[in-house]
Structure 1
Amino acid sequence: MAGVLEEYQRPVAGQEIDTIRALLHDLRQPLAAILLLAGTEAGDIARKMEGISGQARWLADLVDEVLSGAAGDDVERTDVTSLVDAAVARARATAECPIVVSLHDTPEVWARPVALSRALACVLDNAVRAAGAAGQVAVGVHTDGDGVHLTVSDNGPGLGHVAGRTSLGLTTTRAMVAACQGSFHLRAGSDGGAVADICLAEAVLRSVAS
């Protein structure tokens, strides 16, 4: 198991990512959500249009960030609660399993908002696929001495048993978190499945230190 975890926690510099492949990977989920929302006849039309609009705005931000080489996605004070809510709403549009959110803290962090959104979207996508229709995904936020932790856990079959755990999605996650000057770890869950942990500096701490 130690060897497996070492593989999943291998650091990846932002420059090592294939930008085009990473962009195509990140486009899949919102495009699938838009097609799903547009293709269903039943339901509240206004709510479906709101969902499509949200997915489209995320696509526009993502493409702008890639085309500008992240020049417009500066490290800034970022509201974790809003970012988590938006990422979970996008993921729920196509997820077959429930996604529950537990916010023990609601801090601001230092991050690149689009990069952090991409990282969270990637780990959510992995977790949803691992959990399957019969499973569950949990998103949590808590703060400790190391910083602010955004965790995404699933109750799937666990590390090494789900195709794609070492895919481009996790490579993208590491690169995006590194761009936010944070750290990323993937570990086995205590009751099976896996836990993805994104750790970032809390904004108030750095402002006090400066």
Structure 2
Amino acid sequence: MLTLLTPKGPTVRYVKFLETGLVSVETKRLPQLDITNLFLYVPTYLGYEDLKGTAKTYQRYYGDILTKNYNNSYYKFRHTNTQRTTESFKAFVEGLFGQNNNIQPEPIPEQDLLLRPYDYCESWRAHDYSSESNKFKHSAIWNKTIADISKRLGFQYSLESIDVELMWDMCRYEQAWHVDRTSVWCSVSKI
């Protein structure tokens, strides 16, 4: 049995699942919760291992260029100022140079035009890139998907988009954490 916490303003909906499908729905008043953002910046073990493996593969294919001995005049590393990219940097250099390296990245500039140019581009900031997503979420195919998922779960009415999006987020995160089994959250869609 799993419990899904769905942000709904000041209420939280608990949806309990068994292998046979939906069991019960219960709504309680709680402070607003955004479970998606709770895990957004937390790197997974699989992600760390993937980056480490990618670096090892690069070194195997490009061993003449990517030597195993670190030299700061040959290598320059930079990342943005988030936990996720810091951990990604650590995984990559561990894959290239081993676990006990003492490699420091280049300082993060105040205006990072290399890794975050869109933060300083007026044209980019002036455009509403969410409009395409909004168009899709008001399309017939999106509404049919919501209706199909709602029906598959045994609801007599269509769930709200935010409910289905949260189920998808839980599917993605749980699948990344536990690659050896399929997340129950992924069973709500046909993907």
- Which TM-score tier does this pair reach, normalised by the shorter chain? under 0.3
- Give the structure with the higher percent strand: 1
- TM superposition score normalised by structure 1: 0.24
- TM superposition score normalised by structure 2: 0.26
